[in-house]
Structure 1
């Protein structure tokens, strides 16, 4: 056990295997929210405290990603980050973007807005639920502008070989846009291998909705301009003499047009403190060991596995197919065991492990899976 369940609100007596959807809340998050409320009444000093807390959180995200804090911006969500890139680039008719068929809609749909400009969206088809980098290479050409992909799939649990993919994309003129939502806080994210990284904060990072991470690799994309501007984005060059004269900030703050959701940032900052206190290496080993136990247990019962078996090919998500996902999740929920059900009408179930899970949690889940009526037929056993 890396952390006691008593540190969380409502977690005791519950087997929570849903980190890939929502995570339970640390009790100290209430203290973080109270600090925000207390800081907010301090008048002009309030803003200084808000910005100081944001800077602290960005410094920790920089450490987590192995990149300078100045290259980190906070947006409202990972979805906003993908859309930002869509509108920041100068597209030409005949350009193309490469995405995968098993991507989360927020990583796929924003690119479709470019079809009106003559941009082709090339969709890589999965092979037995896996995305093969060779298939990405086969679709790339000299008009490929962006390869957009998740480091860890929300749908299948596959962890892509980031170094191999980075080498491929950098052999071309394309940009690698990476969604690290299902990796950050569970396994290391070497953000500098990508050009843009986005991530939600309410899963393994233990935050809440309202803040998303946007990493800008300035060495790779030094001329990337903000498509949306506001009072945070830059500075007025001549004051009121010409209030329209404007220069973007040199750091990633240029992509923040307005105030962040500071209350969300306070919670994230508190969560990051706890993650670093426990140790990222320890969390990674714990998550992978437990997800490995889940994989072996389900495979041993005959379930159709979507997630690769290898330790380097997965993270916290273990996904499997079921004929009646709702029957599975409901039967588990009756035993106070929570997993995540189907998405998009496909019979997929997802089990996600994190640092608050225990071997006893995995034992309880696997034991319950052996007794759920009708699941043997659903598994094809």
Structure 2
């Protein structure tokens, strides 16, 4: 795949027309045209039994190798998840939480982050939600809420209000 300069042209995306401005983020972004081909390939592989299943995993292995080359990560450290929320939940569940640990996050942060972290309370983990001043949660307030038992400081770029 040749390197491209951003922003990508409208023609790279399904359903966008000249004059369209699409500002939604998260799971609501327009799909790139290449996704249509990828979906078609996936559907064809699903219909081809074990051979198709094997091709599915070959595509995943190729994508991991590409990402490893771009990031310097090991292929075995690269995982694919169904959404950013699913990926974050997997990271949270992968931490070796202990009773008395805590996590710090802005009170106005994205709901799925809150959901993943709120479940930790049942394991004896304190979930510290830092109140904003107006609409802003200051970095210094987040840091002040951390202590020696803080295992995670969670801040996302989006929330339900942005």
Give the TM-score range, shorter chain: 0.7 to 0.9
Aligned residue in 1 for 2:124: 118
Identify the structure with bigger relative contact order (alpha carbons < 8 Å, sequence gap 6+): 1
1:122 CA displacement: 0.9
Give the Cα–Cα distance (whole angstroms) in 1 for the partners of residues 70 and 92 of structure 2. Answer: 26
Residue 79 of structure 1 pairs with residue 92 of structure 2: no
**89 and 13 in structure 1: CA distance in 2 versus 1, 3 angstrom threshold:** closer
The structure with more strand, counted as a fraction of residues? 1
Residue-by-residue CA offset, 1:16-39 (whole Å, 9 max, x unaligned)? 222414222233322222222333
Residue-by-residue CA offset, 1:62-91 (whole Å, 9 max, x unaligned)? 455442332111122222233334433443
Give the Cα–Cα distance (whole angstroms) in 2 for the partners of residues 2 and 110 of structure 1. Answer: 33
Residue 144 of structure 1: which of 133, 141, 150 is its match?
150
> What pairs with 1:40-79 in structure 2 (closer than 5 Å)?
40-63=46-69, 65-79=71-85
Q: Secondary structure at the match of 2:18?
A: coil
Residue 154 of structure 1 pairs with residue 148 of structure 2: no
**Tell me, which stretches of 5 or more residues in structure 1 are unaligned?**
156-342, 351-381
**52 and 19 in structure 1: CA distance in 2 versus 1, 3 angstrom threshold:** farther
Aligned residue in 1 for 2:138: 132
Query: TM-score of the superposition, structure 1-length normalised?
Result: 0.36
**Tell me, which stretches of 5 or more residues in structure 2 are unaligned?**
1-5
Q: Secondary structure at the match of 1:74?
A: coil
> What pairs with 1:164-243 in structure 2 (closer than 5 Å)?
none
Give the Cα–Cα distance (whole angstroms) in 2 for the partners of residues 10 and 154 of structure 1. Answer: 24
Give the Cα–Cα distance (whole angstroms) in 2 for the partners of residues 83 and 8 of structure 1. Answer: 29
For the aligned residue pairs, the C-alpha RMSD in angstroms reads 2.6
Q: What is the number of equivalent residue pairs in this alignment?
A: 156
Give the Cα–Cα distance (whole angstroms) in 2 for the partners of residues 138 and 56 of structure 1. Answer: 43
Instruction: Tell me which stretches of 4 or more aligned residues in structure 1 moved more than 4 Å.
Output: 63-66
Give the Cα–Cα distance (whole angstroms) in 2 for the partners of residues 35 and 5 of structure 1. Answer: 23
Give the Cα–Cα distance (whole angstroms) in 2 for the partners of residues 58 and 19 of structure 1. Answer: 27
**65 and 17 in structure 1: CA distance in 2 versus 1, 3 angstrom threshold:** farther
Query: TM-score of the superposition, structure 2-length normalised?
Result: 0.77
Aligned residue in 2 for 1:103: 109
